[in-house]
Amino acid sequence: MTNGTHSYVGAVGLALLLTLVGCSAPVSEDAAIGRSATPTAASTAEAGGSDVTAELEGLEQEFGARVGVSALDTATGEAVTYRADERFGFASTLKVFAVAELLRQVPADQRDTRITWTQDDVDEAGYSPVTSEHVHDGLTLAELAEAAVRESDNAAMNLILDQIGGLAGLDDALAELGDVTTEVVNEEPDLNRIDPTGTADTTTPAAFTAALAALLRPENLRDGDRAVLIDWMSENATGDALVRAGAPDNWAVADKSGGAGAIRNDIAVVTPPDRAPILITVLTTKDDVTAEYDDALVARTAEIVLAALE
């Protein structure tokens, strides 16, 4: 399925979300990186007669990959999970939490502060389509935050980290959301290089979905800032082929993608018409760590999971 229009979570859906995200599952405990012999799905995963576990196992075999999912229907409290407590590299999905912390720390009237950087900063960061065009004039904090979410600009992410207390500041922000599972160790682009024997720069689907639910509660992010974040996630340039492609045409999708090498991820707020949103994290990695990621794996995973909650 495809969603050809960019749209944002409407006021009604967002209001419903704020009252219902408290239903989210608790953050999972640490799980080792690697394929579990017996992946499990929640009991609600067979909703609508669809055996989600079997379908996702089939996708893993087809794509030669490991898939992790945690989806929460905030209207009902139902969840669909698959390898939700296993660790995956988070890649650029982390940027949504860094930007949210910037919005939390910096008042709106101070976000027009102009930040500058060097060409070396851009070169060291890797993929930086926006900041590479503004080495000589810089960007405001708000523009950097938007670039990090909508364009997944790496240098923008690193500059935002500088504003929120660095890697430790972001780790503390996640802990405030209840996420003590995610391990933030490196900036861009090194956070994309995952050691399968360790846990640095990894998370679990359950941890990210729970953190997203906490992030969207009013005590953690002001109403106006939450609306700004959702707006940026709704018209990002990097998510059309991911969860958005797996959602029905008339469902609004606000997401943040991530991908590097064998890793392809998406974290999203998905809002069906006249319903409270579904929060979903899809994390994937190819079994062959030298292989390139595949957008279709994320899209088809989302299609299966969202259908089970439809």
Q: List pLDDT tens digits, range 272-290.
A: 999 999 999 999 999 999 9
> Does residue 128 carry a catalytic annotation?
no
Q: List pLDDT tens digits, range 186-224.
A: 999 999 999 999 999 999 999 999 999 999 999 999 999
What are phi and psi for residue 53, nearest 5 degrees? -60, -50
pTM of the entire structure?
0.88
**pLDDT (0 to 100) of residue 310:** 86
Three-state DSSP at 28 gives coil
In a domain, 142, yes or no: yes
Categorise residue 292: left if φ over 0, alpha if ψ from -120 to 50, beta otherwise: beta
In a domain, 43, yes or no: yes
In a domain, 3, yes or no: no
Measured in whole angstroms, the distance separating CA 7 from the mean position of its chain's CA atoms is 17
* Residue among 24, 28, 92, 152 flagged as catalytic: 92
In a domain, 61, yes or no: yes
Q: Residue 55 maps to which CATH number?
A: 3.40.710.10
In a domain, 5, yes or no: no
In a domain, 225, yes or no: yes
Domains contained in the chain, number:
1
What are phi and psi for residue 258, nearest 5 degrees? -155, 145
The percent of residues above 70 in pLDDT, for the chain, comes to 84
Q: Which residues of 185-214 are buried (b: 16+ CB within 10 A; e: fewer)?
A: eebbbebbebeeeebebbbbbbbbbbbbbb
| 252-260, strands of its sheet edge to edge | 79-82, 65-73, 278-286, 263-271, 252-260
Domain that holds residue 299: 11-309
AA identity, residue 77: G
